[in-house]
Structure 1
Amino acid sequence: MTNILDDYALVSPLRYRNNWLKLAIVTFGLLMGVTSQSFVTPLAIALCMSFATVRFGKVPAGFYLKVLSAPASFVILSVIIIAFFFGSGAEIFGFDVFSYRLGVNTGGLEMALLVFARTLSGMSCLFFLALTTPMVELFSVLKATRLPDSLIELSMMMYRYIFVFLEVAWGIRYAQSVRLGYKDWRTGLNSLAMLATTLFIRSWEQGEKIFVSMSARCYDGRLLFFEEKRPIRANELMLTGTYFIAVLALWYMTREFSIF
């Protein structure tokens, strides 16, 4: 149960900042990144959010890059496809494959850079929120938005059961590994099938135990959320306002920017 996002969110100094302010920053970054017509603004947002996560959120840079690289690998593959098969304009470079011309033109490269920058910006904003705000506090914020209680409580129970599944699955896999359950491909496949079957039964039993324990604590179908009041400080408001103005100015100045 180590190296998960909530572990870093629980010990982050930004955890004790106002959650609504962090949501406003993330929402603003997402909107500016998606609506920008140039890759410059989303790239600047990604750099700012990454710096804030590592510098102010005290998230190790190595772990942050590792987390960011997982979805980035899929993005890079998409960007390569866009660069080669979309867009128009003068050809930058190309080559022949079985008498078929593959090349990257100016329009395709700009489109690929824009998609990459937008995706990187969105991931940086979401990782900033995930690595600085525990999920329990996000549920409290959602409850304050007057969303249906059943939706929020169902989401919270689903989130809780993720760790129930992980705990049971890791325990079973460790027991199988010490008994050479994965010594070869055929044995590993059989062990994996047994793990899936046992995981379902164990999780069902664990769910019943949780329900009994909640009932013993007077659970009446509604979950209570505790939200600590954290006022927005003047320096935080000034820093956020400066960031908003700078991004808006960059978005306006680069709306017609082109590298070709």
Structure 2
Amino acid sequence: LLAILPTAIWISVLFVGRRLKLFSLFAVVIAFSLVVQGPLFTAIGIKPSPLVEALAIPLQQVGAVVHNNEEITDEQAEVLSAIIPLERLATVYNNTSVDWIKFDSQFDRKAFAEQGGEFIKVWLQMAPDHPGSYLRAWGWQTLGYWDVGTENWIITKSTSAFFTPTQNLMYQVTGLEILATDPSNLDQRYDAIRHLPVVYPLFNIASMVWLTLAVCVILVASKRANLILALVPLLGLWLSMMLSAPTYCEFRYLFAFHLCLPVTLLIPFLNPTRYQSLDR
């Protein structure tokens, strides 16, 4: 929905004359999405994501406050202690990922789900008293999605192990000699390639995000802001990471930016005057 709703808002601004028809279309899309992710998923046994996934950043921000031994009220401590002992929270907190908290043996997922509302209240109450810790925790948790100097794994040994000397698909496709030998350390060889200056941006999340934002600026400057519509789903996806990223830099989370790169680069060269306006 974070991708659908911004798109609907952007369309309503650009195409005033067709708002009713367009909103009707989006209403159908949203309704279909809710049905698929609700009753249909339930019917086939797919469970919804736990609440902790959606509240990853708030949990990290609260964890940062406790880790820094900052003062909180007894009532706030009581709510947090029901989820995870404060001493344990201070110990396991890691500024790059909420996984250290949510996968800890003393973290009570059931209690967190049941007291999610109380946790949100505590999180909001603590915000005015700990703005610095909240901001730093958010910055660390989203670092890889806006900082081009941050990177993380892309290929793992569990996948590179499938390649054998006679079935080295990477070498067969690219012809690069660096991939031609023993594939057991293909992940290290992949790292060697990704750090080449020319191709580094192609393996970097933030580079693709900033490139997409630069295209948006170009479109606005050239008075073709309506073409940004094609990029709104990507921007919505990025926004979802900035609001609820569970870890600081996960390539697969924003891989859509890389998949859409050819289209993103093509958009600035489009001439909208050649096409009939949707607003007529």
Give the shorter-chain TM-score range: under 0.3
Based on CA coordinates, which of the two structures has the bigger radius of gyration?
A: 1
Scaled by the length of structure 1, what TM-score is found? 0.23
TM-score, length-scaled by structure 2: 0.22
Higher RCO, Cα 8 Å, sep 6+: 1
